Amino acid sequence: MAKPSVAVAEASGVPAQASCSCPCPGTTLFPYPPPRGASGIAAAAVRRKCLQAEVGGGACWGVESMRASSPTHARAAAALAGAGADEEEERAAWMARHPSALGKFERIVAASEGRRIVMFLDYDGTLSPIVDDPDAAFMSETMRMAVRSVAKHFPTAIVSGRCRDKVFGFVKLAELYYAGSHGMDIKGPAKASSSRHEKAKAKGVLFQPATASEFLPMIEAVHERLVETTRSIPGAKVENNRFCVSVHFRCVDEKMWGELWESVKGVLREYPRLRLTQGRMVLEVRPTIKWDKGKALEFLLESLGFAGCTNVLPVYIGDDRTDEDAFRALRRRGQGQGVGILVSKHPKETSASYSLQEPAEVHLYLSICSDPARVYVHISRPPPPLLSLSVVLCSRQLMRLLLRRRR
């Protein structure tokens, strides 16, 4: 996670016009998105510096950090529409580093040969669209069917910042593993999804970090305080996710972001054992426990009996900054020992190896993973031209792989 910081030196290579005035003395702010003249490396540095204000810094830095982690649809669309040749080249370079998981599906299938796949899925922005009301982030029935089908073939876990009970209420599949509160609250399937999971040792597993329960009264108190202090900010929504508190600002006027930041920071000053992190249009208050989605991934692999094994291929699909902990955990396993897939329409710094643009592509990817023959025999319209060739070519190979695992 980003370290506290209250001042940012100007990034090397960023033109002077990249800075803007700020009422906070002694600080230099960068606009989002970075200026067109900035190179890809400099632009990334700007975003990285902006995000270093997660815990320290005043309202100005807070707003810039919120903008960097949560560009509005309008701003992102305008940046994309106004992209020049440099931006197009940078996007092409980013896609070369993080190619479509659909377009490179055959490569992923080849990497899984002789291995047991374990599927990890984020929820918001991955299985469901990002919506204004977090309580209305429902997944489609077709997505639910795709996840259910995947779970019939591979152990499957939902890893979310939501509290475990809430994300289960959205997904409604008892055969999955659920890791809520960024992995701090884990429970195994209520029922076995198939006989192929007989060797899994995590059935019924219930896990929380040793000291997590100590924070529950503190989290409850902070939730109540934040509900009260943000009441005057239209659109702000505070959500108690058991081991963390989420402050959603998707419906808050951007002019009010500074006030919201100060309100949250003001409450946190009284709770030094809690930390502030950020996601897409959300501020999150979490315990200072060294536990995250990456640790949850490693715990579940160990519980399934795959600790230190090379005959397993964990696949993690997520869209948010907290998913980067899982992507980094996969990279620590070594080259070719895991598949990280970022869900994003726009280039961003990531430790994932592949990308998908939106939940619709996640649905297609999961559908192909579980039953490629059905997808392409019954598909009502042809797949995108860029994706069709490689996916169709590997469908038979994947089907043979699945059939072998069924025996």
Which residues have a catalytic role annotated?
Answer: 122
- Residue 264 and residue 285 in contact, taking contact as beta carbons nearer than 8 Å: yes
For tokens 């030196």, the residue is 9
Question: How would you class 20 by CB atoms within 10 Å of its CB: exposed for 0-12, middle for 13-18, buried for 19 or more?
Answer: exposed
Separation of alpha carbons 328 and 292, rounded Å: 11
C-alpha pair distances (Å), 56 with each of 51, 277, 318, 388: 11, 11, 27, 48
Separation of alpha carbons 352 and 254, rounded Å: 30
Residue 172 C-beta-side C-alpha neighbours within 13 Å: 9
Separation of alpha carbons 312 and 297, rounded Å: 13
Separation of alpha carbons 55 and 255, rounded Å: 20
Which residue type does 53 have? A
Question: How would you class 338 by CB atoms within 10 Å of its CB: exposed for 0-12, middle for 13-18, buried for 19 or more?
Answer: buried
Q: Is 270 in a helix, a strand, or coil?
A: coil
The torsion defined by the Cα of 293, 144, 146 and 337, in degrees rounded to 10, comes to: 10
The CA-based diameter of the chain, rounded to the nearest angstrom, is 68
- Tokens describing residue 355: 């990308």
C-alpha pair distances (Å), 404 with each of 107, 149, 223, 278, 384: 19, 17, 50, 43, 29
Helix and strand numbers (H, E) in the chain are 14, 12
CA angle, corner 185, sides to 252 and 188, nearest 5? Answer: 125
Separation of alpha carbons 21 and 78, rounded Å: 22
DSSP letter for 234, please: T
- Residue 159 and residue 318 in contact, taking contact as beta carbons nearer than 8 Å: yes
What phi, psi does 363 have (nearest 5°)?
-60, -45
